[in-house]
Amino acid sequence: MSGTVAVEKPSYMVSAPVTMGLENLGRVEGGPFKRAFFTHFQPAFLIAVVAFYYYAPAAWIKPSVTLWIGLGVKFMMMGMEWISPRYKSWQHTWKELACDTFYVAMGMMVVRVVFGPINSEAIISWFQDTFDFGKIAWFMAMPLLLQAFLLSFVRDYFQYWMHRFMHNWYPLWVTHAPHHFITQLNVQKGSIGNPVEIFLIGLGVSGLFDFLPRAVLLAGAFGLAVGSYQHCNIRFNTPRWWFKIFNTTEHHSLHHAQDYESTRSNYSGTWIFIDRMHGTCRDGEAELLGQEGGRRMTIWETMHYTFTEPYKLLREKFARRRPMVAVPAE
Ligand SMILES: [Zn+2]
Ligand SMILES: [Zn+2]
């Protein structure tokens, strides 16, 4: 017998089937036109969105237009999910659609309530008076695309560490865990989670609407044309080079896998090369998603989990500390 002692793994460190490697991914099914469309769509759409923000007249470069574009993109993606679904098991049922719509509406409301005041006249003029644009003249002198890339990269880099921290520190994990209970992906799933998490993620988002320079919206365009795919149920023949740079549904489905080890990878939102830089990237995809073997979490539990889980844990801890009281035999 060897001298090693088998350490029992905690119950949440389960293994579950995943597809590893880019060569083993599923392919688009259908005729040549459909296959070509779903092979070239992602790069073509990114170029179109970037070109829009680059060349559009200044009057169109404002957040309200971007919000409408974002909404249009969501509906377009829902159509694509219907034409080329990634997994049949992820397709909408009425119940799923009703729940998702609730979360999307709630997410929009939380953002409005939290970030609404930031948009007020007083705060905007204070910001413009206090913030000396002269100091960032060197930044504004750089090519627009470079500015946009840097803004997007810095934001994603911050989000990468925030997300990684959420997976490694219990008080933050309980805010993020409800999002990991989703058992299938579709365009709306990005909104699912406890409102506290949406707020934490929102910290990385500039809520300073209405006077954003073109570079900031262009940076947002990367998120729109890349980050939106994270939670979608669309089967693409994603080009190899795209996988090297950008986050994809494939990567993010591994992050949501039932398989514990896979959830500890692919933390970035837009730029997967950040994960490659830090050795946390995993290439592949997963169909079986969720926590606790794919247990479905109700909306009610999603709301209170963040607060009740730590409470339960603490209660158990203190219960164990209490001295055993002898129970008299009856
Ligand atoms: Zn996560
Ligand atoms: Zn996710």
Average pLDDT along the chain, 330 residues, taken 10 residues at a time: 61 85 92 96 95 88 78 90 93 84 77 61 66 69 86 90 93 90 85 62 45 78 87 94 95 95 94 96 94 86 86 85 58
Contacts of 328 (CB under 8 A, 6+ apart): none
pLDDT reported for residue 274: 97
Indicate which ligand has the atom closest to the C-alpha of 188.
Answer: 2
Please name the amino acid found at residue 35: R
pLDDT reported for residue 295: 87
Instruction: Give the distance (Å) from ligand 1 centre to CA of residue 47.
Output: 28
Indicate which ligand has the atom closest to the C-alpha of 164.
Answer: 1
Instruction: Give the distance (Å) from ligand 1 centre to CA of residue 160.
Output: 10
Tokens in use for 179? 């999002």
Instruction: Give the distance (Å) from ligand 1 centre to CA of residue 302.
Output: 15
Tokens in use for 113? 């309530």
d(CA 160, CA 155): 9
Instruction: Give the distance (Å) from ligand 2 centre to CA of residue 179.
Output: 6
Tell the residue number behind the tokens 């079986």, with chain if given. Answer: 288
Indicate which ligand has the atom closest to the C-alpha of 191.
Answer: 2
Where are the chain's structural domains?
Answer: 31-132+145-316
Tokens in use for 206? 């500039």
Instruction: Give the distance (Å) from ligand 2 centre to CA of residue 308.
Output: 22
pLDDT reported for residue 131: 64
Tokens in use for 8? 């029992």
Instruction: Give the distance (Å) from ligand 1 centre to CA of residue 255.
Output: 6
Phi, psi dihedrals of residue 20, rounded to the nearest 5°: -105, 145
Please name the amino acid found at residue 297: M
Instruction: Give the distance (Å) from ligand 1 centre to CA of residue 288.
Output: 15
Pure H helices in 116-209: 121-130, 137-140, 144-168, 170-176, 195-203
The pTM score is 0.84
d(CA 229, CA 278): 22
Measured distance between the N- and C-terminal CA atoms of the chain, rounded to whole angstroms: 46
Instruction: Give the distance (Å) from ligand 2 centre to CA of residue 180.
Output: 7
Tell the residue number behind the tokens 């994990």, with chain if given. Answer: 173
Indicate which ligand has the atom closest to the C-alpha of 249.
Answer: 2
Beta bridge partners of 20: 284
Q: What angle do CA 229, 186, 97 make, to 5 degrees?
A: 150
Instruction: Give the distance (Å) from ligand 1 centre to CA of residue 165.
Output: 10
Instruction: Give the distance (Å) from ligand 2 centre to CA of residue 241.
Output: 23
Instruction: Give the distance (Å) from ligand 2 centre to CA of residue 44.
Output: 24
Contact 187, 231 (CB under 8 A): yes
